């Protein structure tokens, strides 16, 4: 049975009231019992439901891959990205200390040296290499080199050649907040208009999406915040009609409109940017923040979009994994449909929650 007929069969089964009612009743009893203690909940999910198997295995593979990756040269290096960012945070401290970053300066400089000395030399993207060079230079200029570790790392850093392809007209180091005044900010009303205008659009014109507009929107998406500036995700974009059709039909959430999407994007998170499962939610948070900027930027360029749920569901995961050749530690976060909205295409009203439901101030909640 192929995926589409399987989805149709599942829908038919779920449409039988008795099936839904029985399923809910079982869940009420089962989860009522499981939720009394972790001693029941954890073994149940490990042995019987297996709902978390893929996630656990993805993390195991990710940590293995992380440790391999830090030793290798890449256009973008995770140790450099994280640690240079941490150095910048140290540099901007109002009461900056003469000695800081002792717990990671050695790892940073050694990694940087390894990249500089690798046979291909400029394996890091030139901008990232310059950022590392400029920040390390600023760090060694203001820290106390009589501290043995700092002194040793400074000597090693200064013994290395300058990275190639540096843009001498800029210094990629912390700067004063007031410098941002040069950017024009939309007014609150303009931003509210953009927010109201952006809606999930599911009906599109039969018109190709210009890649240069998507790239422009991605440039805004790339500016979104991410934990330790790691940007642990990639936009896998498809505009080949055959490929779009294939991929758009994988998620559950596109039924009825998948075939009219002119472009589909799978945002894939990379868990191997982390050395510990404690950061396992970061790919979702970081990708989501970026996607929101992307969607707003598309709107400013006359394009519309729809976010499409990526469920953690075995069959769909293996289908997407196969189509996109995903690694075990790469996980789809969200699928996005993009195109020019059809003027007469309808948009659900999707009433939003009132403010009082959305926020609270200084409310510690009731103890349970
Ligand atoms: C993570 C996420 C998953 C979504 N999944 C689907 C989906 O599978 N199918 C769909 O038609 N719309 C999907 N949407 C769109 C939502 O239904 C839509 O954002 C919501 O109803 C609010 O409407 P609005 O975006 O027009 O404000 C998704 C949106 C998000 C953010």
Q: How far apart are CA 221 and CA 59, in angstroms?
A: 26
Instruction: Output the pLDDT for position 74.
Output: 64
pLDDT of residue 5: 81
CA–centroid distance, residue 322 to ligand 1 (Å): 25
CA of 335 to the centre of ligand 1 (A): 10
Please write the tens of the pLDDT for every residue from 76-89: 778 888 899 999 99
Is the shortest distance between the CB of 250 and ligand 1 below 6 Å?
Answer: no
Nearest CA to ligand 1 atom 15: 307
Tell me the backbone φ, ψ of residue 43, rounded to 5 degrees.
Answer: -60, -35
Side-by-side strand order, sheet with 304-309? 233-238, 263-270, 330-339, 304-309
What does the domain layout of the chain look like in residue ranges? 67-174, 185-339
Whose Cα sits closest to atom 13 in ligand 1?
A: 308
Q: Is 258 in the pocket of ligand 1 (CB under 6 A)?
A: no
- pTM summary value: 0.92
pLDDT of residue 120: 65
- Ligand 1 in reach of 307 Cβ (< 6 A): yes
The protein residue whose alpha carbon is closest to atom 19 in ligand 1 is 200
The verdict on the CB of residue 346 being under 6 Å from ligand 1 is: no
Pick 185-339's CATH classification: 2.170.150.20, 3.40.109.10, 3.40.50.720, 3.30.420.40.
3.40.109.10
Distance (Å) from CA 348 to ligand 1 centroid: 10
Q: Is 125 helix (H, G, I), strand (E, B) or coil?
A: coil
Number of helices and strands in the chain (H, E) = 14, 4
> Is 288's C-beta closer than 6 angstroms to any atom of ligand 1?
no
Give me 63's structure tokens.
């940590």
| Cα–Cα dist 115/123, whole Å | 7
d(CA 295, ligand 1 centre) in Å: 12
In ligand 1, the atom with minimum distance to the C-alpha of 202 is 11
pLDDT beneath 50: ranges in the chain: none
Closest of 264, 271, 348, 350 to residue 307, by C-alpha:
264
Decide: 345 in ligand 1 pocket, CB within 6 A: no
Q: How far is CA 251 from CA 200, 260, 319, 347, in A?
A: 16, 15, 10, 20
- Supply the residue whose CA is at minimum distance from atom 9 of ligand 1: 253
- Quick one: tokens of 195? 């927010």
- Quote the ligand 1 centre to 346 CA distance (angstroms): 14
Tell me the CA–centroid distance for residue 202 and ligand 1, in Å. Answer: 10
Give the distance (Å) from ligand 1 centre to CA of residue 59: 27
**Terminal C-alpha separation, the chain:** 47
Phi, psi of 335, deg, nearest 5: -110, 145
Q: What's the rounded Cα separation, in Å, for the pair 127 and 41?
A: 48
259-298 confidence digits (pLDDT tens): 999 999 999 999 999 988 899 999 999 999 999 999 999 9
């Amino acid at each position: 049975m192929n995926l589409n007929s399987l989805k149709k069969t599942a829908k038919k089964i779920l449409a039988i009231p008795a099936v839904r009612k029985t399923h809910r009743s079982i869940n009420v009893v089962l989860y009522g019992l499981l939720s009394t203690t972790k001693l029941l909940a954890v073994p149940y999910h490990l042995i019987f439901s297996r709902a978390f198997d893929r996630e656990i295995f993805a993390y195991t593979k990710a940590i293995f891959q992380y440790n391999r990756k830090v030793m290798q040269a890449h256009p973008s290096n995770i140790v450099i990205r994280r640690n240079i960012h941490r150095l910048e945070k140290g540099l901007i401290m109002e009461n900056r200390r003469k000695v800081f970053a002792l717990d990671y300066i050695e790892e940073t400089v050694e990694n940087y040296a390894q990249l500089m000395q690798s046979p291909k030399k400029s394996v890091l993207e030139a901008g990232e290499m310059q950022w590392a060079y400029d920040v390390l230079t600023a760090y060694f200029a203001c820290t106390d080199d009589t501290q043995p570790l700092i002194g040793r790392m400074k000597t090693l850093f200064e013994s290395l050649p300058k990275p190639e392809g540096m843009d001498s007209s800029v210094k990629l180091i912390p700067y004063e907040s007031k410098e941002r005044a040069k950017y024009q900010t939309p007014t609150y009303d303009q931003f509210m208009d953009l927010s109201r205008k952006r809606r999930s659009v599911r009906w599109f014109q039969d018109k190709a999406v210009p890649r240069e507009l998507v790239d422009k929107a991605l440039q805004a998406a790339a500016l979104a915040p991410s934990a330790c500036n790691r940007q642990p995700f990639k936009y896998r974009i498809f505009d080949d009609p055959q490929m779009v059709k294939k991929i758009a039909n994988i998620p559950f959430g596109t039924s009825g409109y998948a075939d009219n999407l002119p472009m589909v994007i799978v945002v894939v998170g990379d868990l191997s940017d982390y050395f510990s499962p404690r950061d396992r939610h970061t790919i979702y948070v970081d990708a989501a923040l970026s996607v929101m900027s992307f969607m707003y930027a598309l709107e400013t360029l006359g394009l519309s979009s729809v976010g499409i749920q990526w469920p953690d569901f075995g069959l769909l995961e293996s289908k997407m994994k196969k189509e996109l050749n995903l690694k075990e530690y790469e996980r789809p976060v969200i699928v996005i449909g993009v195109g020019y909205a059809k003027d007469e295409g309808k948009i659900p009203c999707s009433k939003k929650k009132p403010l009082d439901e959305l926020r609270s101030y200084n409310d510690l909640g009731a103890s349970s």
